[in-house]
Structure 1
Amino acid sequence: MTSEKKPVTIKKYANRRLYNTGASAYVTLDDLAEMVKHGEDFVVYDAKSGDDITRSVLAQIIFEQEGKTGQNLLPIRFLRQLIRFYGDSMQMFVPSYLEFSIERLTKDSQKFREQFEAAMSANPLANPTRQIFQSMEEQARKNMAMFHEAFDMFSPFTAATGESGKAAPPAQSADELNEMRAQLAEMQKRIDSLVKKD
C-alpha cells in the first residue's frame, strides 16, 4: 500500500535511440538530464537484451554535461582519485561514501545558497565566498567523521584493522581532507581572481 511513484521505463535500441515508454516518445540524453533535475526517476533497459543499463546512461549524461562549457563539476584530481579506487581494497566502500556525501550536500545546498546570497548582497566586490567555503569545508569534515562512524558500526573489525591485521593508518581520512582543502583553495583563488577583474 505505497503511493510511491514507479520509475519511468526507458528503452535503448540498437540505433542508440532512447524511447520513453511512459510518454510514448523518443527522448535524448538532454531530456533525461532534465528529468533527473526535476526529480523524475527512470530506469533504462537495453531493448534487445533487457539488461538494466541505467548506470551507464547516467554516466553518459554526466560525460555530456561535463563536455559543455562552464558545466564542469568533477575536478581532475577527483577523477584521478576515483580511477585509483577501481580494483583497490576500498572500492566496495566508495559508492556508499559518495552517495552519503552527495545526500548531505543536497540537504545542505539550500543553506549554502542562502549564505552565498547574503554574502553577495552584503559586500559583492570584496571576498564574498570565503565564509561559504569555510562552511563547506566544515561540512565535508563532518561528513567524513559521520561516514567513518557509520562504517565503524557496520564493520567494527575491519575498521580497527587493515587487511594485514595491523592497525589501519589514520592518514587515509587526513589525505582525503587535505585533498578537499586543496580543491576548495583552488576554487577560492579562481573566484578571487574573478572578483578582482570586476
Structure 2
Amino acid sequence: MAEDAKPLLIKRYASRRLYNTETSDYVTLDDIARFIRDGREVQIVDLKSGDDLTRQYLLQIIAEHESRGESVLPVNVLTDLVRSYTSQAGSVVPQFLQMSFDMLRDGQSQMMENMAKVNPMAKLPGFEAMQAQQEAFMKAMTSGMPGAGQGAGGATGQGGDSSGDDEDLEEIKRQLAELQSKLSKMNK
C-alpha cells in the first residue's frame, strides 16, 4: 500500500504522448482513467517545463466520457459550473462541491457498511470489488479539489454520536445560506 500512497507519475512529452514512469511505456487517456478507477492517484507533468497538467487531463477524460453519452453531470450542473467561472462566487463553488462529494462518499461508505451487516448479498463474490470500485470512483471524482482526501468534518467515523452529525448539518446549512446570499447579491 505504501507504493499506492505516492501518485503514479505520467510524463507528457513534446509529442503529447504520455509516458508511465513506473512501467516505462506509453499510455492513453483510457489507461489513466483505469488507473484512477483502480484507486491510484495520478500526476501528469510536462517533461520540458515541469508544469502539472493533471487537472487538464482529468477534465479531458470527463469530457470524452460525456461526449460518448456516458453522462454523469446534468446540463444544469454543467451550466452552473460555467457560471461559477465567470462569477465572484467562484471561490465558494469549489468548497461546496468538495463538501458535497465528501458527504456523498461518506454516505456511500456508511450505506455499504450497513449493507454488509444486514444484507446476505454482501457475502456474494464480487461484492467487495464493487465496494472498492465505488470508493475509487469517489476518490477520483474528488481528487484535485481543495481538501481532497479529508473527511467531511471531524465527526465522521465516531460511532453512533449524532451530535457531530447535527453540527455537520448545521455547518452545511450555514455555508449554503452564505452561498445563496452571495448569489442573490450578484443578481442585483
TM over 0.5, yes or no? yes
Whole-angstrom distance in 1 between the partners of 2:66 and 2:14 = 25
Whole-angstrom distance in 2 between the partners of 1:49 and 1:92 = 28
Q: Secondary structure of 2:104's partner? A: helix
Whole-angstrom distance in 2 between the partners of 1:62 and 1:19 = 20
Whole-angstrom distance in 2 between the partners of 1:61 and 1:94 = 21
Is the counterpart of residue 6 in structure 1 residue 6 in structure 2?
Answer: yes
Q: Which residue of 1 aligns with 2:47?
A: 47
Residues 135-146 of structure 1 aligned to structure 2 (within 5 Å): 146=171
Whole-angstrom distance in 2 between the partners of 1:169 and 1:94 = 13
Q: Which residue of 2 aligns with 1:91?
A: 90
Whole-angstrom distance in 1 between the partners of 2:183 and 2:92 = 17
Is the counterpart of residue 147 in structure 1 residue 146 in structure 2?
Answer: no
Cα deviation, 1:79-116, whole Å, max 9, x if unaligned, reads: 111111113121111112111111221222352896xx
Q: Which residue of 2 aligns with 1:72?
A: 71
| AA matched with 1:101 | S
Task: Tell which has more relative contact order, 1 or 2 (C-alpha 8 A, sep 6+).
Answer: 2
Query: CA distance change for structure 1 residues 74 and 151 in 2, over 3 Å: closer, same or farther?
Result: closer
Q: Secondary structure of 2:19's partner? A: strand
Q: CA deviation at 1:146?
A: 3.7
Is the counterpart of residue 22 in structure 1 residue 22 in structure 2?
Answer: yes
Q: CA deviation at 1:171?
A: 8.0
Whole-angstrom distance in 1 between the partners of 2:30 and 2:97 = 24
Give me the TM-score of the superposition, normalised by structure 1: 0.56
Aligned residues: 131
Q: Which residue of 2 aligns with 1:109?
A: 108
Whole-angstrom distance in 2 between the partners of 1:59 and 1:85 = 16
Q: Which residue of 2 aligns with 1:82?
A: 81
Unpaired runs of at least 5, structure 2 = 120-165
Root-mean-square deviation (CA, aligned residues, Å) is 3.3
Residues 89, 182 of structure 2: 8 Å contact kept: no
Whole-angstrom distance in 2 between the partners of 1:33 and 1:53 = 15
Q: CA deviation at 1:150?
A: 6.0
Residues 51-66 of structure 1 aligned to structure 2 (within 5 Å): 51-66=51-66
Whole-angstrom distance in 1 between the partners of 2:102 and 2:22 = 27
Cα deviation, 1:40-63, whole Å, max 9, x if unaligned, reads: 001110112110011101000101
Whole-angstrom distance in 1 between the partners of 2:72 and 2:26 = 28
| AA matched with 1:31 | D
Unpaired runs of at least 5, structure 1 = 119-141, 153-158, 163-167, 173-198
Q: CA deviation at 1:19?
A: 0.6
Q: Secondary structure of 1:48's partner? A: coil
| AA matched with 2:105 | T
Query: CA distance change for structure 1 residues 78 and 150 in 2, over 3 Å: closer, same or farther?
Result: closer
Whole-angstrom distance in 2 between the partners of 1:6 and 1:60 = 23
| AA matched with 1:78 | V
Aligned-pair identity in percent equals 35
